[in-house]
Chain A
Amino acid sequence: MSDLLIRGGRVIDPSRATDGVADVYVKDGKIEAVGRNIPAQPGASIIDAAGKVVAPGLVDLHVHLREPGFEHAETIATGAMSAAAGGFTAICAMPNTDPVTDSQATVGFVVRQAIRAAKARVYPIGAVSIGQNGEQLTEFGEMVQAGAVAVSDDGRPVATSHLMRTALEYAKTFGIPVADHCEDMSLAKGGAMHEGIISARLGLKGIPSAAEEIMVARDIILAELTGGHVHLCHMSTKGSVALIRWAKERGLRVTAEATPHHFTLTHERCEGYDTNAKMNPPLREAADREAIRQGLKDGTIDCIASDHAPHHYDTKEREFDDAPNGIVGLETALGLGLRELVEPGLLSLPDLLARMSTVPARIFKLPGGTLMVGAPADVVVFDPAERWTVRREDLHSRSTNSPFLGETLSGRVQLTLVGGRVAYDRSNRQIL
């Protein structure tokens, strides 16, 4: 692996609160130096980053890679490629595959497939319960040894208060968070979108905000009872943000994420029954979207996660009720963050990058999210001003179920380095 000199970019490192024009020198897969006028060693490749931003690679705590079991929608390799193309150097794979990632063997499979793919790093999230059935705890210890960084029954909530309590207690032994998909299933049953004026008009069964908030409240209360770390996935409602704010004021170990689609879209996007607007949690109301944005601004919501959920064309090309939930998000997350949060002045660019790299890396205790000397050279280079149109044929994911097709986003990824290796380079689109 040759040395790399990334020259003359605006280097933003939220982990050290630095922001200024500098060079970044990469040697042996690690950050060797950051500073002005670093000389290139003989044989080093030089990347001209003038006018571009150089930042720690993005970290996504919440993706679905569909392998094993649903490889027609995504594989670990295509998902890791999509991640690299979106500027992500580390992604965390949810366990709702077939079979479920609920043992050291299945965790090991994800790790091995990710090494083989050699794109973004892929960290497995183990299931909380065997088969995600909501009954018996999985072997957290063995899964962590095999590479799991958190546990979750995502796709569904941790089924009972008792299971959540024991999971939070048991997870403390291994220093991992329990990530929860907050949804009271009895309230949400059969729901296809947010319950409100649009669902009433479209004649679709609604999922009330209360379905999420009840579980957020439960998890916060159990975090207090156990002292465990609960990570709240894809927060979507105003009430949830208020509950998390309250939990943080009490000093509880509660962290939370929000998705680009929840800070960008509202339930009005479901008009016309576009199945690419069908997700869980559903797109909510303008006041909810505003609360999520404010939560990201004041830190109540710690980080941005894509909830990348690839679905094959055929499964989305059908009646709204029958279509699966979710959208692909790895390649549009940065562009939406810039367009929706930075350009309107809600977040500074360093703050956005903190919420997309440094902070999520800390929440799951992952390497990365920093350009400190000696850290793995997980780096993204992007032009924050470049506008680009999301086109189906340009996406690297195996699925293209996105409500943002045809939209113009800001900030295009130029180069993604993972451990000093080029995982994505748009200048020649080579797949190295």
Chain B
Amino acid sequence: MTEPTLGKDLLGLEGLTKAQVELILDTAEPFKEVSERAIKKVPALRGKTIVNLFFEASTRTRISFEFAEKRLSADTVNVAASGSSVSKGETLVDTARNLEAMRIDMVVIRHGSSGAAKFLADRIRSNVINAGDGTHEHPTQGLLDLLTLRDRFGKIEGLKVAICGDVLHSRVARSNIWGLLKLGAEVAVCGPATLIPPQVVELGVQIIPRIEDAIAWADALNILRLQLERMQAGFIPSLREYNRVFGVTRERLARAPKELAILHPGPMNRGVEIDSDVADGPHSVILPQVTNGVAVRMAVLYLLAGGGPDWRSGGGGDDR
């Protein structure tokens, strides 16, 4: 059997095989150590040019990608939509083609429209990494969640993971569902019915309507951010009631039959979907998630650049 590769782009986890997901996680493993060094740098992507094209505000994901790129010795440029020609009406494809005319190697794109990363990937030769497209996927978030769960439990297969909150509008939820299912986890979603697409059952995901039942069932909770505009759009009556009915609180966790790992993709609304004593509690892996984010993104960048298993020996990819 040939070794799996990633291909040109990383647009989502839906299109990946189990072997590809495992390849990324396994590749991320040794990259963790790079970030622990005094000199946090390997030459794997030396000479590569990467553009971080962010059409939506992002702190965590953008910085995480930037660290990953810099620790691999790539040259990086950050483009934010405001202040660029995009704000003057330039189309997405024109923006990307102009960047490509400057001979870049990769584009990391965050965009408010589902499918934007694929749209771009179909039209430019550079590698495209989806850093979140609308309410579709956020594959590197899904991968870092998988890595964090694997670190904590040793393996994903057979694990029961409940994704809690606004699944309808969550690209994190979609990437998690695909990644977890591919690696053999059992997946449930929990939240108000207005924010749960009922079709998820067709994917093999169960719906648990009440948070108490999800807590009793799960080994791990991945708690999604509840965006404040959902209240204005009428999906929920109030944040206060959301916390009372769906919030993950210490009291609710105390009744669980076992200790649950607590994940959150951030940024958190403390006191809404998650209480501070849970977020900061002993079973929270929220900060390890962030640490793993850099390693996973290093792995993705490295693999898309054509890297093999020999990055420690010097140059990676095809630029030796």
Task: Assess whether B199 is in contact with A203, with CB atoms less than 8 Å apart.
Answer: no
Q: Is B78 part of the contact surface with A, judged by Cβ < 8 Å?
A: no
Task: Assess whether A203 is in contact with B93, with CB atoms less than 8 Å apart.
Answer: no
Interface string of B77-118 (1 = CB under 8 A from A): 000000000000001110000000000000000011111101
Q: Is B137 part of the contact surface with A, judged by Cβ < 8 Å?
A: yes
- B residues less than 8 Å from A317 (CB atoms): 91, 93
Smallest Cβ distance from B235 to chain A, in angstroms? 12
Task: Assess whether B136 is in contact with A319, with CB atoms less than 8 Å apart.
Answer: no
Q: A226 vs B141: C-alpha distance in the bound complex, in angstroms?
A: 57
* B113-141 interface (Cβ within 8 A of A): 113-116, 118-119, 133-137
Q: A320 vs B112: C-alpha distance in the bound complex, in angstroms?
A: 11
Q: A140 vs B170: C-alpha distance in the bound complex, in angstroms?
A: 48
Interface size range of chain B in the complex: 20 to 34
Task: Assess whether B91 is in contact with A202, with CB atoms less than 8 Å apart.
Answer: no
From known contacts A203-B133, A203-B137, A203-B174, infer whether A320 and B113 are also in contact, taking CB-CB under 8 Å.
yes
Q: A321 vs B114: C-alpha distance in the bound complex, in angstroms?
A: 7
Smallest Cβ distance from B298 to chain A, in angstroms? 26
* B48-74 interface (Cβ within 8 A of A): none
- B residues less than 8 Å from A204 (CB atoms): 114-115, 134-136
Q: A204 vs B135: C-alpha distance in the bound complex, in angstroms?
A: 7
- A residues less than 8 Å from B134 (CB atoms): 203-204, 321
From known contacts A201-B14, A203-B136, infer whether A320 and B93 are also in contact, taking CB-CB under 8 Å.
no
CB nearest to B200 among chain A residues: A200
Q: A319: which of B119, B199, B200 is its contact (CB, 8 Å)?
A: B119
Interface size range of chain A in the complex: 10 to 19
Q: A201 vs B137: C-alpha distance in the bound complex, in angstroms?
A: 9
Task: Assess whether A203 is in contact with B119, with CB atoms less than 8 Å apart.
Answer: no
Q: A202 vs B203: C-alpha distance in the bound complex, in angstroms?
A: 13
Q: Is B229 part of the contact surface with A, judged by Cβ < 8 Å?
A: no
- B residues less than 8 Å from A322 (CB atoms): 113
Q: Is B237 part of the contact surface with A, judged by Cβ < 8 Å?
A: no
Q: Is A318 part of the contact surface with B, judged by Cβ < 8 Å?
A: yes
Q: Is A174 part of the contact surface with B, judged by Cβ < 8 Å?
A: no
Task: Assess whether A202 is in contact with B115, with CB atoms less than 8 Å apart.
Answer: yes
Task: Assess whether B136 is in contact with A202, with CB atoms less than 8 Å apart.
Answer: yes
A205, A314, A320: residue with the most chain B Cβ atoms closer than 10 Å: A320
From known contacts A317-B93, A319-B113, A320-B113, infer whether A272 and B118 are also in contact, taking CB-CB under 8 Å.
yes
Q: Is B158 part of the contact surface with A, judged by Cβ < 8 Å?
A: no
Among all A-B residue pairs, the 3 with the closest Cβ atoms = A203-B136, A273-B115, A319-B113
What is A's interface to B at a CB cutoff of 8 Å? 196-197, 199-205, 272-273, 314, 317-322
10 A-B pairs besides A317-B93, A319-B115 with CB distance below 8 A are A197-B199, A199-B197, A200-B197, A201-B174, A201-B199, A203-B134, A203-B135, A203-B137, A205-B135, A321-B112
13 contacts between A and B (CB under 8 A): A201-B14, A203-B134, A203-B136, A204-B134, A272-B118, A273-B114, A273-B118, A318-B91, A318-B93, A319-B111, A321-B115, A321-B134, A322-B113
